[in-house]
Amino acid sequence: MSYEAQSDQNPEEVAITSVSSQCLDLVEQYRSNQTTKGETVYKLVQTIPPGEAEAAESPEQTLESYISMLDDWDRDHTLSEEGERGDEGRNNAKRTGGDKRDATEEDNPDESVHKRPKIDPDLFPWTIADRVEGSTLREECIATKNLIANYTLDIKLAKAHLLNSGSAPEYPDSEWRSILSGLPTNLDAVFGGRYSTEHESKISHEIRDFTISTREATTSKSIKSAGDWFIAWNQTAEATTYAFPHRRKECQEYGRHILGLFAAFAEEHHPLIFNYDRAVRKRVALRRDLLLTDLADYGDLRVQYLDVRGANSGKQAQAVSGRRSSRRSGDACLRWNKGTCTSAAERCFYQHICSYCRAAGHVNGECTNKPKTSTERGQRRQIA
């Protein structure tokens, strides 16, 4: 289908393409020396609209792709100038000899100003620390570290090779990059992709050697229960062990750990566990010496997200309480009247009031409003 046909059917694509065209025009103006780099970046920021929460690509990522185009042009332009100077120098050397070539270099000391010096990784402080302390890493951590280092040398090639393999598990295209890069995955995106029937379509616009692609924003389901979490986690564990086979036992044990938390907490508090899981996976992704099963290293996160005194648990509990209070029943809580209700009055779905007289402060068995004799009960029936 042609682009013109698509634009007739979907006005949103026309707006996206219009923004892309404006940004590409700004890039072309910079490449033709009509504007400075600072002016171009400023205009790009004004042109790119703010993104939506469900958008596949944020405005920052879009801006970064255009800035990369500007940087690529600077690099290619510098290399081209250096090549021309090199050719000219070689031609002069052939005509005048090597001695004059040395004289030319002395007369033009600024000729190598644009050459970028090579970085020496051996001088990085962390490189020295890795040499000294690297042996303390466990075998699983070393294996994960080496695979991530290999994948990220060319993440696009690694991802394309993986997706073309015959036994790759089904997994959202956008989350494979996170796994190969050692970043935490978005389980909401995994769960939503499970029930989505739409392909992640893209709108592409080519200019010379560059292609700008914008993904369409699609709505997805989010995780709201323990069952939802395990559907997403089982997929993630399968994809993780496909790229990191040595992590199979680690993923299985972590899944059992979260299952135990779901069993120990009331269902209304399960959102606390979702946040705890996100925090644990984030910490593991940011460090190369941790496994998901190093539970002793997550004690602070357990308190922060699961303990009632935690910094983050209170906010979540208030949100859950607010949602429940807006749809509470007006009936008396029979469990509370029997003395078996485990919920606080403000969190219980039913009212903690007497089931006989509906007054607060006492249960049915202690109600003083009950008739004591059969005559009184008959009179109450007649009045009723």
> What digits encode the pLDDT tens for the residues 236-294?
999 999 999 999 999 999 999 999 999 999 988 999 999 999 999 999 999 989 999 99
pTM tops 0.85: no
Between CA 362 and CA 350 the distance in angstroms is 15
Q: Is the pLDDT score of 29 beyond 80?
A: yes
Between CA 18 and CA 3 the distance in angstroms is 12
> How would residue 76 be classed by pLDDT, with cut points 50, 70 and 90?
confident
Report the pLDDT value the prediction gives residue 111, as an integer from 0 to 100: 47
Helices 139-151 + 155-163 axis angle, to 10: 100
Between CA 262 and CA 260 the distance in angstroms is 5
CA dihedral 253, 256, 261, 264 (to 10 degrees): -130
**Highest-confidence range of 35-44, 196-205, 365-374, by mean pLDDT?**
35-44
Report the pLDDT value the prediction gives residue 209, as an integer from 0 to 100: 58
Contacts for 278 with CB less than 8 Å, ≥ 6 apart: 184, 187
Please count the residues of the chain: 384
Q: Is the pLDDT score of 94 beyond 90?
A: no
> How would residue 314 be classed by pLDDT, with cut points 50, 70 and 90?
low
Question: Which residue did the predictor score with more confidence, 72 or 355?
Answer: 355
Report the pLDDT value the prediction gives residue 365, as an integer from 0 to 100: 86
Between CA 356 and CA 354 the distance in angstroms is 5
Task: Say if CB 30 and CB 70 are below 8 A apart.
Answer: yes
- Token pair 């979907």 is at which residue? 10
Lookup: tokens for 344: 């606080």
Question: 247: how many CB neighbours lie within 10 A of its CB?
Answer: 21
Q: Is the pLDDT score of 317 beyond 70?
A: no
Distances (CA, A) of 259 to 253, 256, 335: 10, 5, 27
Would you say the C-alpha torsion 229, 346, 367, 356 has a positive or negative sign? Answer: negative
Q: Shortest CA distance to 318 belongs to which of 353, 272, 265, 278?
A: 272
Report the pLDDT value the prediction gives residue 146, as an integer from 0 to 100: 93
Mean pLDDT of 47-68: 71
Distances (CA, A) of 194 to 37, 161, 162, 182, 197: 43, 23, 20, 22, 8
Share of the chain above pLDDT 70, in %: 69
Between CA 93 and CA 99 the distance in angstroms is 8
Mean pLDDT across the chain? 77
Report the pLDDT value the prediction gives residue 56, as an integer from 0 to 100: 53
Q: Is the pLDDT score of 345 beyond 80?
A: yes
End-to-end, the C-alpha distance of the chain in Å comes to 76
Lookup: tokens for 224: 């709201």
Q: For residue 118, which phi and psi values (nearest 5 degrees)?
A: -75, 135
Question: Which residue did the predictor score with more confidence, 10 or 358?
Answer: 358
Between CA 58 and CA 64 the distance in angstroms is 10
Report the pLDDT value the prediction gives residue 297, as an integer from 0 to 100: 93
> How would residue 46 be classed by pLDDT, with cut points 50, 70 and 90?
confident
Task: Say if CB 105 and CB 96 are below 8 A apart.
Answer: no
Report the pLDDT value the prediction gives residue 48, as an integer from 0 to 100: 81
Task: Say if CB 303 and CB 309 are below 8 A apart.
Answer: yes
Q: Is the pLDDT score of 11 beyond 70?
A: no
Q: Is the pLDDT score of 230 beyond 50?
A: yes
Question: Which residue did the predictor score with more confidence, 331 or 75?
Answer: 331
Report the pLDDT value the prediction gives residue 276, as an integer from 0 to 100: 95
Please tell me what DSSP assigns to residue 206: E
Q: Is the pLDDT score of 2 beyond 50?
A: no
Share of the chain above pLDDT 90, in %: 33
Q: Is the pLDDT score of 316 beyond 70?
A: no
**Least confidently predicted of 57-61, 142-146, 270-274:** 57-61
**Least confidently predicted of 9-18, 211-220, 349-358:** 211-220
> How would residue 153 be classed by pLDDT, with cut points 50, 70 and 90?
very high
